[in-house]
Amino acid sequence: MAGVGHKSHGKSHDMGLHAEQLAGRTQQRFFSAAEEENFTYPWAYEVDFDKTAEFDAEEMDSSAINLKIRELMQSGHGTITVKNPRAKHGVGVGILNRLNLKFEGSLGYFGCGLVDGPNIHISGRVGWSCAENMMAGKVVIDKNAGSTFGAAIRGGDLVCRGDVGSRTGIDQKGGTIIVGGRTGAFSGFMMQRGRMIICGDASKNLGDSMYDGTIYVGGQVEDLGVDCVPGEMNDTELKWLKTKLGMYGIEPACGIENLKKFVSGKQLWNYDNLEPAEKKLVL
């Protein structure tokens, strides 16, 4: 990464992403709507996306479903369909491989967590903490999602076409979370990096205690959390938003150009150094 730490006029600079003060190794953020750059593990299975398989999970428990997915990957299947998952918990987790995976039905809590690389489509709903600690790839849910959607996500695209519960993107560290409908209270809580796009309304305490990152909202915001403030949209962001939402055929009712932007006010960055009276003002 030549030039890291030096002044540049790239897209990330245009979007004001180089004002942060980070200790240790410089960590710059670069925008690519498609995010096609994916790393693979040296021990990952060699799969062929044209080699397809499907199985019925109605009578299987979560462990058996996950084991079956791995067995099919090991045999080279790159496109796998799981029928009747019946909202079982902890399904589709820990997949560190390129894979096209489809669930025909709903998943329970902690579905598709700890994944790095697969493209996953869920035709139903998901419970709490879907795609927790996701590293890379895509997870798309056709219906609604529970609370802590995308907790601590680090990369990739996590998309829910419906509504989601509270604390969406809690401790988000990267990647993009897209919600086609509404989100609950404390969405973006302690957000550190990444982007969140809420096409509908946002409930109380949006972006509470967020350290960095960006939240876009198309509907009404009930109120902002501590240290979350309105930001100004620029042309580079608008272009990125159109490209990213266009990938999934999603558009807020207000129009992409009318999305509202929210960022960190950065008043909590040096919280320990504030005087007691100043801390009261911040909180």
Domain ranges in the chain are: 46-282
The per-residue pLDDT for 9 is 52
The per-residue pLDDT for 41 is 79
Between vectors from CA 97 to CA 2 and to CA 108, what angle results, nearest 5°? 120
CB 78 within 8 A of CB 100: yes
For the chain, give percent helix, strand, coil, nearest 5: 15, 25, 60
Which tens digit of pLDDT belongs to each residue from 145-158?
999 999 999 999 99
Residue 52: CB atoms within 10 Å: 13
* Strand ranges across the sheet with 214-217: 48-56, 77-83, 100-104, 116-122, 136-141, 157-160, 173-179, 193-198, 214-217, 260-264, 228-230
The amino acid present at 32, given as its one-letter code, is S
What is d(CA 268, CA 283) in angstroms, rounded to the nearest whole number? 9
pLDDT class for 268, splitting at 50, 70, 90? confident
Q: Rounded to two decimals, what is the model's pTM?
A: 0.84
Backbone phi, psi, residue 278, to 5°: -70, -35
> Residue 24 pLDDT more than 60?
no
Backbone phi, psi, residue 120, to 5°: -120, 135
CB 197 within 8 A of CB 179: yes
The per-residue pLDDT for 248 is 97
Q: What is the mean pLDDT of residues 31-35?
A: 51
To the nearest whole number, what is the mean pLDDT of the chain? 87
In CATH, the number for domain 46-282 is 2.160.20.60
